[in-house]
Every structure is written in structure tokens, then in C-alpha cells.
């Protein structure tokens, strides 16, 4: 089914309403770098909190961790990133633009007279492919010499591996168990783009599950299925989600098996990865044991065994999942009895950045005072937006467009009997609720969505 490209609409809506801004915009913008505004930061936090709750808090076999972005440079030699975290890059000798050698827009094999630059159109100017390392380099300390080179981490996973025994011994967890962390990662992508889908600085929500060798494929299958269910549980439409099982020749150097979870972003991006589930075998821990010279074995005292655990990893990008939620929820629809249609982002109440709009119907007769007091009370429980400007219909529309699930209106009857109306974003149905029950009424619905 062809879908309209909503990414472009979301770029402008995000800026106008404060979800996402281009970085350093007043200086002309930093290419493919984005900042999260007041609504974006709430949405991202809600998503990350959901993951943390489901992965760490609600399970007793997974521990949380937060490791540093800067690590000992040997980590990246051991992990294979210094030699192997590369993409093939080609450059046009005419316009100096750089592309991935496998960019579908490139015509003809690089290095041949037929190769044509997709930007300037010149023929025979695309050089041979060379390997380009995606890690960002920087210097540690005040001297700029090779000895001081460190990398910005390209994944959170390695911070978890080098702490595997610290966490295991501190918590006395027994294999199988997992370690989860959320944090920034950096990759000097050759062709970033598609808004926040591919950027050079992004976040990851990664979980490493340590298992006994031989049970790894079983755990891989379990995590593959659980992660798909998790994305569906966020409200992403089933028919926009699919598995993509990587073929043998596509597997990364460390992987025994890998599945990507794809979401259909529509438009030119189409189905694209939002999460990877990987069976990494014992590659990482063995490498770190060899290079560091420190034993990283797990001792299974009960069965008198020691072994290097295999690792099943789930690696999700919150930026991409957030974009998927916005694309998935974005709807333009007609409203019965009204001429103007509306734009609404259908987000679960638990994920929506603002939970309730609070509106006095008119700016008189004690309504603003009542509404302000109620908004202050609700704000202690969840984010609310107080709005008294413009026609009530316009105020509803403004909240619809940012996904606010409930709008509370204080009207003439409120002043008589202390009841208010609560309008549901999706059904447009209005319920009359006693003012002192509003906080509980909304909280209940937030909790019910997404548990």
C-alpha cells in the first residue's frame, strides 16, 4: 500500500510545535544534527522510561548500567571496531562529494569511466572505493599526540561487556541474566539523513543477555519475539512492522545470527531498521579477555563449571522508534460537523508529551480562576497545558496536533456544580467528571495505556 511521505510534514510540525529543532540553526544549521525541544524531550523520555521499566524494573534477571562515552582505546581494538567498523566510501573528483560505495543512486562501478556522480552528474569522476572508519576520534588530555587518541563510542554494548563481571559479582546474578543501558553513541555516517532516522550522534537502548553456550539460539528466538511484541505494545501498527533476518553474508564480524525489526516509515524511506537483535556468541568477551589479559569467565558454582557466556543483544534506537511513533500516529482527518479537518498524532496516553489540556470555556465568570487552580493541581501528577486563548475548537486542534489525549474544559456548569468535561482525542467523546476526580480519571487511563 503506497503511503504518503509524512516525514516532511513532521519536520515542519516538529519545529513549529517544539518537538525537534535543527542544531545550531542560527548559524545555518549543523547538517543532520537535531535538538529535542520541550515536547520532543518528554516523548523521548517517556519512550526510554517505558523500555527501562519493561527491561530492567519489571524483570528480576536484568540489571541497569550507565557507562562512560569515553573508554580505554584498547576496547575498540579488542572489539574489532578499529579495523572493522568501516563502510566503503567513494568520492567524486569533480564536486568532492562523498558517498557510500553501495549508494543506490550511484550508477556504474566506482573507479570505471561509466561511474556517474549522482549530484554533479559528471562521468568517470568517481574514484575507487576505500574503507572509511565510522568512529569519531578525539584527544584525551591536553596533548594532541597519537598516544592520547580516544574514540567516542559507536555503541553502548562495549561498556557493558567490560563491566560484565563487575555487575555479575555485585548483584550475584546467575547466567542467564542481562545488563541494560541507555546512552549516546556516535558514528561518522557517510550519508546521514531522513530527519532523525540516521544521524551521527544518536541514542541507543541496548540490552546484553548472557547465556550458557548451546542455549544461545533458544534465547535469540525468545528475544526476537519479545522485542517485536514490545514495539507492537507501543501502538505501532502490526502491518507496518516486520522481521528482516540477516543472511549469512550480511552478518557483522561478531554475529552468529541477527534479525532486524523494520518499521514502514512510508514515502521514500519505506521499511527500515528500528532495532537489531543479535546473537554475538562469545566473540566480545573472548576478545576482551585476550586483549586485556583478565579472565572474563563466569563461574557456575552450583554445577562446578566455568565458561565464557554467549551474548544475545537487543539494540534499539530511541530516536528511530520515536520517529516511528510520530509517523505511525500522524493522521489528517475530517471532523463531523466541522468544515476544517484536523491533524492529530495518535500516541498512547502514557507516551504523549502532554497528558491534558486545561481550558476555561470563556475568560470570565470565574472560569479562568477555576481552570488555573485545577491545572496547577494536575501538573503535580503529569504534564498539562493551560490555554485560554482563542476559540475552544482551535484549542482542541492545537492539542490534537501534538498528541494530547485529554482536554479538560471548565464551563458554566463547572461554576454551579464543580464538574468539568473531559474530551477524548480519538473518539472526540466528552465525559462529565467531578473536578476532584479528574486527576485520578486521567492517571488511570495513562497507566492503562501501555502496561
List of residues contacting ligand ATP (CB under 6 A): 155, 187, 189, 198-199, 202, 204, 273-276, 315-317, 319-320
Closest CB to ligand ATP among residues 187, 231: 187
Closest CB to ligand ATP among residues 249, 340: 249
For the bound state, the minimum distance from the C-beta of residue 326 to ligand ATP, rounded and expressed in Å, comes to: 15
Pairing of strands 271-281, 384-386: unpaired
For the bound state, the minimum distance from the C-beta of residue 53 to ligand ATP, rounded and expressed in Å, comes to: 19
CA–CA dist 55, 38 (Å, integer): 26
CA–CA dist 451, 441 (Å, integer): 17
Closest CB to ligand ATP: residue number: 317
Closest CB to ligand ATP among residues 19, 359: 19
Closest CB to ligand ATP among residues 278, 395: 278
For the bound state, the minimum distance from the C-beta of residue 136 to ligand ATP, rounded and expressed in Å, comes to: 12
Taking the CA atoms of residue 59, residue 63, residue 66 and residue 69 in that order, the dihedral angle to the nearest 10 degrees is -100
Dihedral (CA of 59, 65, 66, 70) sign: negative
Closest CB to ligand ATP among residues 105, 434: 105
Q: Which of 431, 414, 387 is nearest to 396 (CA)?
A: 387
CA–CA dist 413, 395 (Å, integer): 20
Q: Which of 84, 79, 320 is nearest to 205 (CA)?
A: 320
Assign 3-state DSSP to the chain and report helix, strand, coil percentages, each to 5.
35, 30, 40
Strand order in the sheet with 86-91: 98-100, 86-91, 130-133
CA–CA dist 173, 309 (Å, integer): 13
CA–CA dist 118, 93 (Å, integer): 13
CA–CA dist 420, 283 (Å, integer): 60
For the bound state, the minimum distance from the C-beta of residue 228 to ligand ATP, rounded and expressed in Å, comes to: 13
Closest CB to ligand ATP among residues 227, 288: 227
Closest CB to ligand ATP among residues 212, 273: 273
For the bound state, the minimum distance from the C-beta of residue 444 to ligand ATP, rounded and expressed in Å, comes to: 32
For the bound state, the minimum distance from the C-beta of residue 102 to ligand ATP, rounded and expressed in Å, comes to: 11
For the bound state, the minimum distance from the C-beta of residue 363 to ligand ATP, rounded and expressed in Å, comes to: 45
Amino acid at each position: 500500500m503506497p503511503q504518503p511521505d509524512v516525514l516532511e510534514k513532521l519536520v515542519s510540525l516538529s519545529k513549529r510545535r517544539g518537538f525537534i529543532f535543527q542544531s545550531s540553526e542560527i548559524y545555518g544549521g549543523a547538517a543532520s544534527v537535531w535538538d529535542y525541544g520541550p515536547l520532543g524531550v518528554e516523548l523521548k523520555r517517556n519512550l526510554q522510561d517505558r523500555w527501562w521499566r519493561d527491561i530492567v524494573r519489571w524483570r528480576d534477571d536484568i540489571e541497569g548500567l550507565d557507562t562512560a562515552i569515553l573508554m580505554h582505546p584498547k576496547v575498540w581494538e579488542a572489539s574489532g571496531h578499529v579495523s572493522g567498523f568501516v563502510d566503503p566510501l567513494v568520492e567524486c573528483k569533480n564536486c568532492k562529494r562523498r558517498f557510500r560505495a553501495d549508494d543506490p543512486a550511484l550508477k556504474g562501478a566506482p573507479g570505471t569511466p561509466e561511474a556517474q556522480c549522482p549530484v554533479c552528474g559528471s562521468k568517470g569522476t568517481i574514484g575507487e572505493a576505500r574503507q572509511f572508519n565510522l568512529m569519531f576520534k578525539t584527544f584525551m588530555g591536553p596533548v594532541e599526540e597519537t598516544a592520547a587518541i580516544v574514540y567516542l563510542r559507536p555503541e553502548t554494548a562495549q561498556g557493558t561487556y567490560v563491566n560484565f563481571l563487575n555487575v555479575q559479582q555485585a548483584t550475584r546474578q546467575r547466567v542467564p541474566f542481562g545488563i541494560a543501558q541507555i546512552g549516546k553513541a556516535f558514528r561518522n555516517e557517510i550519508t546521514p539523513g531522513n530527519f532523525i532516522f540516521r544521524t551521527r550522534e544518536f541514542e541507543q537502548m541496548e540490552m546484553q543477555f548472557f547465556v550458557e553456550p548451546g542455549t544461545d539460539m533458544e534465547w535469540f528466538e525468545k528475544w526476537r519475539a519479545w522485542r517485536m511484541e514490545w514495539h507492537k505494545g507501543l501502538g505501532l501498527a502490526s502491518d507496518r512492522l516486520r522481521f528482516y533476518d540477516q543472511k549469512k553474508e550480511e552478518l557483522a564480524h561478531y554475529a552468529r545470527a541477527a534479525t532486524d525489526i523494520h518499521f514502514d516509515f512510508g514515502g521514500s524511506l519505506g521499511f527500515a531498521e528500528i532495532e537489531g537483535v543479535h546473537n554475538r556468541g562469545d566473540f566480545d568477551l573472548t576478545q576482551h579477555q585476550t586483549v586485556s589479559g583478565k579472565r572474563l569467565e563466569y563461574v557456575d558454582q552450583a554445577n562446578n563449571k566455568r565458561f565464557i557466556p554467549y551474548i544475545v543483544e537487543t539494540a534499539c534506537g530511541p530516536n528511530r522508534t520515536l520517529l516511528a511513533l510520530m509517523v505511525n500516529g500522524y493522521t489528517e482527518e475530517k471532523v463531523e460537523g466541522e468544515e476544517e479537518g484536523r491533524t492529530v498524532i495518535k500516541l498512547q496516553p502514557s507516551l504523549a508529551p502532554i497528558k491534558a489540556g486545561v481550558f476555561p470555556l470563556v475568560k470570565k465568570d470565574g472560569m479562568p480562576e477555576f481552570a488555573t487552580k485545577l491545572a496547577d493541581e494536575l501538573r503535580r501528577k503529569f504534564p498539562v497545558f493551560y490555554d485560554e486563548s482563542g476559540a475552544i475548537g482551535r484549542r482542541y486542534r492545537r492539542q490534537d496536533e501534538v498528541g494530547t489525549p485529554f482536554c479538560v474544559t471548565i464551563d458554566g456548569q463547572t461554576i454551579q456544580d464543580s464538574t468539568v468535561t473531559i474530551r477524548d482525542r480519538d473518539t472526540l467523546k466528552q465525559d462529565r467528571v467531578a473536578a476532584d476526580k479528574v486527576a485520578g480519571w486521567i492517571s488511570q487511563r495513562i497507566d492503562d495505556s501501555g502496561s
